[in-house]
């Protein structure tokens, strides 16, 4: 078997690049950080969960640094970009992955629920795009990847707040792609289908957070059955899509939404 062609390794590789990943303490964000580091990038891990950040950093080793960051706070997001520049002297990639989800019917959701989710999922991504672009535009190149969701297009019942924020993320992605293109910065979205993570399994947990094995097994089966491939996703499936969009292999790609979802939706 022949090795990966050096040209392909250059196009898909991230040697010498610096990447910020938000939501890096768990699930898809953790997988993104690991995969970007495997591709050769130095990664700056951001999240509010310090213990989870330390676990991700331990998985990656020397290529990782940690900057605890609340993506609901603009000052901390600006400090995250400044911190990456301060440590590494450059910023090439920014993955907006942190998000939260509230499961409530529209008639039961309150102002506090709406504000809490918008603060992280929508304002956090908006600020992440802005601070990343300010840090990247000096170098005349960069890639921003916003993690959206299949729910942003399918709007499932009980997930209205989450879905509207993800639809907003798709809008931010397009606006930013148009505004930042002249600076050589590409902006794309990734809209995963269901993935087995703490956020994904939230619907199968009781009030204490314990997983109900029966509803988990049934939920997994139903989600797999909705896919023409008969499978559900793993965090790494999403991280590999992010790697493509972050790499030079995607130099002609901006303002797009990539949908690693097992084929559950084909808009």
Contacts with ligand NAD, residue ranges (CB under 6 A): 22-23, 25-29, 47-49, 52, 69-72, 97-100, 120, 147, 149-150, 192, 194-195, 197-200
Reduced to 3 states, what is the DSSP secondary structure of residue 129?
helix
Least distance in angstroms from the C-beta of 2 to ligand NAD: 35
Give the nearest distance from C-beta 46 to ligand NAD in angstroms: 6
> Distance between CA atoms of 18 and 84, rounded to whole angstroms?
8
Query: Which residues are CB-neighbours of 96 under 8 A, at least 6 positions away?
Result: 22, 71, 124, 125, 128, 129, 144, 145, 146, 147, 169
C-alpha gyration radius of the chain: 18
* Closer CB to ligand NAD, 21 or 41, in the complex: 21
Q: How far is the CB of 186 from ligand NAD (least distance, A)?
A: 19
Measure the CA–CA gap between 200 and 137, rounded to whole angstroms: 35
Task: Kindly give, in sequence order, each residue whose CB lies less than 8 Å from that of residue 74, ignoring residues fewer than 6 positions away.
Answer: 123, 127
Q: Minimum distance between the CB of residue 73 and ligand NAD, rounded to whole angstroms?
A: 8
CA distance 148 to 168: 9
CA distance 209 to 198: 10
Give the residue with the Cβ less far from ligand NAD, 135 or 150.
Answer: 150
Q: Tell me how far, at minimum, the Cβ of 219 lies from ligand NAD, in Å.
A: 11
* Smallest gap from residue 247 Cβ to ligand NAD (A): 20
Q: Specify the residue, 185 or 241, whose C-beta has the smaller distance to ligand NAD.
A: 241
Closest CB to ligand NAD among residues 27, 142: 27
Q: What angle do CA 154, 158, 162 make, to 5 degrees?
A: 65
Q: Specify whether 126 is catalytic.
A: no
Nearer to ligand NAD, 27 or 83 (CB): 27
Name the active-site residue from 126, 162, 216, 244: 162
Residue of closest CB approach to ligand NAD: 27
Q: Is 73 exposed, middle or buried (CB count within 10 Å of its CB: 0-12, 13-18, 19+)?
A: middle
Helix (H, G, I), strand (E, B) or coil at 184: coil
Contacts with 218 (C-beta within 8 Å, 6 or more apart), sequence order = none
CB nearer ligand NAD, residue 121 or residue 254 = 121
Which residues, including other chains, have CB under 8 Å from residue 104's CB and lie 6 or more apart? 113, 158, 160, 161
> Annotated catalytic sites, by residue?
162
């Amino acid at each position: 078997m022949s090795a990966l062609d050096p040209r392909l390794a250059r196009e898909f590789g991230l040697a010498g690049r610096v990447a910020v990943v938000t939501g890096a303490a768990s699930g898809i964000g953790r997988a993104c950080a690991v995969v970007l580091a495997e591709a050769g990038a130095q990664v700056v891990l951001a999240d509010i969960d310090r213990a989870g950040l330390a676990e991700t950093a331990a998985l990656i080793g020397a290529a990782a640094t940690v900057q605890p960051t609340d993506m609901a706070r603009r000052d901390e997001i600006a400090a995250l970009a400044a911190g990456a520049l301060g440590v590494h002297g450059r910023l090439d990639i920014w993955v907006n992955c942190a998000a939260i989800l509230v499961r409530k019917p529209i008639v039961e959701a309150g102002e506090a629920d709406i504000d809490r989710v918008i603060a992280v999922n929508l304002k956090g991504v908006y600020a992440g795009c802005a601070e990343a672009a300010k840090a990247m535009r000096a170098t005349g190149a960069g890639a921003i990847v916003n993690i959206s969701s299949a729910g942003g297009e399918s709007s499932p019942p009980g997930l209205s707040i989450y879905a509207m924020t993800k639809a907003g993320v798709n809008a931010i992605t397009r606006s930013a792609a148009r505004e930042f293109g002249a600076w050589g910065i590409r902006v794309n979205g990734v809209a995963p289908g269901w993935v087995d993570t703490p956020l994904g399994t939230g619907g199968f947990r009781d009030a204490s957070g314990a997983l109900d094995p029966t509803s988990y097994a049934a939920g997994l089966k139903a989600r797999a059955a909705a896919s023409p491939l008969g499978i559900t996703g793993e965090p790494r499936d999403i991280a590999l899509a992010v790697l493509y969009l972050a790499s030079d292999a995607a130099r002609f790609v901006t303002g797009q939404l990539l949908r690693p979802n097992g084929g559950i939706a084909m808009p």
